[in-house]
Copies of this chain bind each other. A is one copy, B any other.
Amino acid sequence: MKHEDTLKRLKTIEGHLRGIIRMVEEDAYCIDIIRQIQAVEAALNKVSAQILEGHLNSCVITAVQGEDPAERQRVLKEVLEVFETSTKV
């Protein structure tokens, strides 16, 4: 199930982040720390994409096929906002 896989990925990322904290505590080389942070960000991007995929295939379909135009607009606007933010982080 998607849900389980998302959780597993997030817990792996949490472990990765704790490793980065340890690196800072042990005065690891700056560039190595930055690289690990970038790896965590790439992993978070994958989780976001996975969650968005589930969202498109459930809530978005329901809202777009639904009777309520305001709800449809709201749901599509959220997808747009998530895209806009993704081009800024």
Q: Which residues of A approach B to under 8 Å, CB–CB? A: 3, 6-7, 10-11, 13-14, 17-18, 20-21, 24-25, 27, 30-31, 33-35, 37-38, 40-42, 44-45, 47-49, 51-57, 59-61, 64-65, 72, 76, 78-80, 82-89
Contact B10 A52 (CB under 8 A): no
Contact B14 A18 (CB under 8 A): yes
Specify how many copies of this chain sit in the oligomer.
4
Contact B52 A44 (CB under 8 A): no
A76 and B56 CA atoms in complex are apart in Å by: 6
Cβ-defined partner of A87 (8 Å) among B25, B80, B86: B86
Q: Can you pick out 23 interface pairs between chain A and chain B where the beta carbons lie within 8 Å of each other? A: A3-B24, A7-B24, A10-B17, A10-B20, A14-B17, A17-B17, A31-B55, A34-B51, A34-B52, A34-B82, A35-B82, A37-B51, A38-B48, A41-B41, A41-B89, A45-B84, A52-B83, A57-B76, A60-B76, A61-B64, A82-B83, A86-B86, A88-B88
